[in-house]
Amino acid sequence: MRTLILFLLLFSFAANSLLAQSKQIKGTVTDKQGMPVYGATIKIKGNSKGTSAGTDGTFVVTVEPGAILVISAVGHETQEVKTGTSSTITVSLGDDIKTLTDIVVTGVAQATSKEKLAFSLTKVSTEKINTAPALDLSQTLRGKVAGIQITQTQGDDGASVFLRGAKSIFGNISPLIVIDGFVTNFSLSDLNPQDVEAIEVVKGAAASALYGTRAEGGVIQVISKKGKGTKGVAITVDNEVGINNIQRTPALANMHHYVTSDTDPYGFAYASGSTTSRIVNYKSNGFSVNLSPYKNNYNNTDALLGDNKYFSNYVSIATSGDKYNAFLSFRNQYTGGVAEPIDPNKKKSLQLRLQFRPTPKLEAEVYVNYFNEVKPSAAVTANGQGTFFAASLQWEPFINLAAKNAAGNYNVRPDGWNIQGANLSNPMYEWSKREYTNNTDNYLAGGKLRYKVLRNLSVEVLGSMRKQNYTASDTYPRGFETTTTSESLNNGNVSLGYNYYQMMNGQAQVNYNTRFGDDITLGVTGKMVYEEWYEKEFGVSGYDFSRSSDIYVIGNTRTDTRTGYGSDMFTNQTVNYGYYLNFQTSWRDKVFVDALARVDQSSRYGIDEQTAFFPRVSLAYRITQDFNLGNAISELKARVNYGAAGSVPAYNLKNSRVTVSASGFTLNQLASTDLQRSITHEWEFGIDAVLYRKINVQFNYALARSSGDVVRPPAFTPYEAAGVYKNFGVTKSNSLELEVNGNAIQTKNFSWDFGLTFGRVRSEIKSLGNGLPPFTDGLFWKDAGVSPFAMYGNKVLTSLSQLEVDKTSGKVINAAGGAYTLSDFTVNNRGFVVLASQVGTKDEKPLLLQKGGASVSTVIGDAQPDFQVGFTNTFTFFKNLTLYGTVDWQQGGQKYDQTTQYLSFDGRTQIWQDYAASGLPLPFLQTLYNGNSYTDFWIANSSYVALRELSLSYRFPGPKKNKIFKDISLSLIGRNLYTWTDFKGTNPEGSHEYFPYPVYRTFSTRLIVNF
């Protein structure tokens, strides 16, 4: 009994001692402005136990005396706090600039860290955006994001940006552009890179599911500078000045095939009795030609499209305090005219960001953007024969388009025009007389409110409005000359156009976050989205100005020539509603599950398909939380996700039904009640890793199935429902992506930061669906089993194995009209199948694939590249000298070069010159020209390696005593400097070209002063 009593006394004493040692700590975590840090992690050092801070930054944890708390939060420096005798503590965490980029806001209901994401996301920092800022934001992501395709086919236009392959039988779908949480209809080319803090890119349907109906092409969110963390008032003045010129032009002929004469000012001999009819310089065989250099060789392309001035002025003011952040900026950009008579393109932008935190529970934000663009070059840089660039190439070089007459004016018919005999005008004359201008004003204004109702409950509301006004005017003066009489131009012509667009967006969101014990967290978000947009447009035109007035307005044109379109009434009104519920949970900070259900309604669907459902399920596991993989792999996370995102049909396609009868065609605009959205379902598998604590790796493999393209099938029997837009087709894509970036070398006087991206996407049309036969879409063929980028046209035979022999007659049935046997054919020295009897004669010509004696079209190429690679490198010497570069590599893929095809008809290309020099008859290449029809001879490999950005900068620190300025940076910058490619046309980017305006390259000097 005595032993038992002693044991109970000792047990009681020990228990009381332990209870006396443990105590409860109540704390608050704030940032350096004193604002609560929601979600901060509080752990006991040396122990797996811990908790997290609520929305008001408070936490409760039980510790033993002397315990050390490790307090961390994404975007903040980790602190260790030793517990003392007090039962309450307040911890202020400073900003950790190195990890701020880990916070992401795209594809998630609430801002979170990348380590907790269960889907892929790429974040591009301001350093990579603004070291050598592109002329607009559409060029910024080159070489920095895996699985992205950026194509600039027009030199004065922004680039087209697409993510992760075809989502349609028609090919790529543009991504949704979000600005600071505001869903917009902007393009990246509208935005100024200097105002951007970061860009977040989500390519998969799982991440895009959060945005529902409009995010089938992925999402790119632009995160603006807001002045956060600024000490005092920071002023930046950024000026850049340089020149633009064209990087590449097609390879042109520099020789001609006419008899020469030293006495003629142009170097030609003419037929007897003529001063304009040149004599072809045939060889003795009567069909091959002798080539001679031009006596006068003017480079009209360089003369017309040479160096042009470029400059940009930018100023920003930023400040922040305990309860506010503010950022204001203005930019003015000037890009010289594409030719002397054409006014420069100009862009202006204004951005204002204000954030207020009047109480710890309330936060308000105000966003204002204004963009103005004046773009006279728009009228001269369109694709196609007859454009400014086309004319500069088509005129032979003995003609000087830039020459002026005695009165100082350009000639509508340049000297020598009648010798060439082409139906061409002088673009320099036209644009010295023609007055064209346009103006685009874009406004975006919005606001956000966040209120923390309870410790774990918060609400957010957001609203924005975008307005766009576009005007254009085009005037030909009275007395305007043309090469042939033109009733609509010679006595003047004027046209005016106007377009107005408005979009409103509203969102309301409720967030609830809690923790169950030390291991499980749960976040729940419910959100409602409202979108509405509409537009109106109208225009008028007229010609034949009154002789009694020199005022060129519509009212002074002849009454019967006036036409108009549109009205002042709003059209194309669209209303979308979206609702979603999102659950996010984690276990021990290593297993993360995200489930989302979004329901959308749109006025563009058929009445029976008003509602669309977009799900998401994502799972991620941080392997290194359970397994120590050593210093080489400091972080490893595996993830898998599934999701769906969609696209709405174009306006009014649901009202496309008509009635067709055997006796005629009756238009009855009826609703196609079952018209649906197109939708992409996608599985994504990936890993995220950190190597040696400084190199980030992301790998993704994705499988996507896109269905429901809105297509108008041809009329069919029985005679009903013809012309109705319906949902057709299934397209599948698989994507392989790799991103590696980080710091390779870091010493006292040298550092090397690098980035590598790799992407390979393969897309295929799996089905067109019932009721939709195979069809062409311009150059491209749409059928099951082919790529959405498959080209369709005539095929030139290059091997005898391509010939098909009829077993009964012994005749070749797919070439030369079916009249010859296989032994009658051969392959000539240029690699073409020809009739053996015609080799070395005037009749020698290449043969086309035929069916039934006529040329037949087939699949002739595919624009899909094999893969794309990007490299970025930043070398820093002695902390202040920085060399930065970006290289963009595309391997494989094909492009149709209709520019070279058309020019070869007139003997204006290097290809024509090579064939003529080889002794082939002139009609040989005319057969390959094939009436400008799509023909596989003009398809070329579009592989390239491009030096996109190169910058050398030196930073001069400000004086230590007299703080006149903080620092000055001086940079030399080159953009689109050079492209290595075998492509002979204007530009290897894209899938088809027909006299596009060439892409600019820019050389400039940049001076940045920070005050």
Report yes or no on 1004 lying in a domain. no
Report yes or no on 252 lying in a domain. no
457 CB-near residues (< 8 Å, 6+ apart): 55, 510, 511, 512
Each residue's pLDDT tens digit, 362-382: 999 999 999 999 998 888 766
**Judgement on whether residues 166 and 85 belong to the same structural domain of the protein:** no
According to the model, what pLDDT value does residue 286 have?
94
Q: Which of 773, 808, 828 is the last residue of a domain?
A: 773
Q: Which of 92, 109, 135 is the last residue of a domain?
A: 92
How does DSSP assign 153-212, residue by residue? -STTSPPEEEESS-SBTTB--PPEEEETTEEE---GGGS-GGGEEEEEEE-SHHHHGGGG
Please report the sign of the dihedral spanned by the C-alpha atoms of residue 263, residue 269, residue 270, residue 276: negative
CATH number assigned to the domain comprising residue 66: 2.60.40.1120
Kindly tell me the number of DSSP H helices and DSSP E strands found in the chain: 10, 54
Is the pLDDT at 81 greater than 50, yes or no? yes
Each residue's pLDDT tens digit, 959-986: 887 778 999 999 999 999 999 999 999 9
Tell me the range of 100-114, 140-154, 299-313, 602-616 where mean pLDDT is highest: 140-154
**Judgement on whether residues 113 and 83 belong to the same structural domain of the protein:** no
pTM for the full predicted model: 0.88
CATH number assigned to the domain comprising residue 204: 2.170.130.10
**Judgement on whether residues 79 and 103 belong to the same structural domain of the protein:** no
Count of structural domains, the chain: 3
Report yes or no on 434 lying in a domain. no
CA-to-CA distance for 594 and 586, rounded, in angstroms? 9
Please report the sign of the dihedral spanned by the C-alpha atoms of residue 153, residue 159, residue 163, residue 169: negative
**Judgement on whether residues 111 and 218 belong to the same structural domain of the protein:** yes
Question: Domain limits at 169?
Answer: 99-224+637-642+650-773
**Judgement on whether residues 663 and 742 belong to the same structural domain of the protein:** yes
Q: Which of 62, 92, 122 is the last residue of a domain?
A: 92
Q: What are the tokens at 1007? A: 């001076």
Give me the mean pLDDT over the 191-216 stretch: 93
Dihedral Cα 82, 83, 89, 94, nearest 10 deg: 10
Tell me the range of 76-80, 212-216, 493-497, 549-553 where mean pLDDT is highest: 493-497
**Judgement on whether residues 123 and 168 belong to the same structural domain of the protein:** yes
CA-to-CA distance for 862 and 447, rounded, in angstroms? 46
Report yes or no on 124 lying in a domain. yes
Report yes or no on 972 lying in a domain. no
**Judgement on whether residues 51 and 118 belong to the same structural domain of the protein:** no
Each residue's pLDDT tens digit, 462-513: 999 999 999 999 999 999 999 889 999 999 999 999 999 999 999 999 999 9
**Judgement on whether residues 681 and 738 belong to the same structural domain of the protein:** yes
**Judgement on whether residues 134 and 219 belong to the same structural domain of the protein:** yes
Position 718 confidence tier, pLDDT thresholds 50, 70, 90: very low
Q: Are 971 and 1005 in contact (CB under 8 A)?
A: yes
Angle between helices 922-929 and 898-905 (to 10 degrees): 140
According to the model, what pLDDT value does residue 666 have?
52
Each residue's pLDDT tens digit, 449-474: 999 999 899 999 999 999 999 999 99
18 CB-near residues (< 8 Å, 6+ apart): none
Q: Are 582 and 568 in contact (CB under 8 A)?
A: no
**Judgement on whether residues 753 and 698 belong to the same structural domain of the protein:** yes
Report yes or no on 268 lying in a domain. no
Report yes or no on 693 lying in a domain. yes
Report yes or no on 438 lying in a domain. no
Each residue's pLDDT tens digit, 883-907: 999 999 999 999 999 999 999 998 9
**Judgement on whether residues 70 and 148 belong to the same structural domain of the protein:** no
According to the model, what pLDDT value does residue 657 have?
56
**Judgement on whether residues 693 and 720 belong to the same structural domain of the protein:** yes
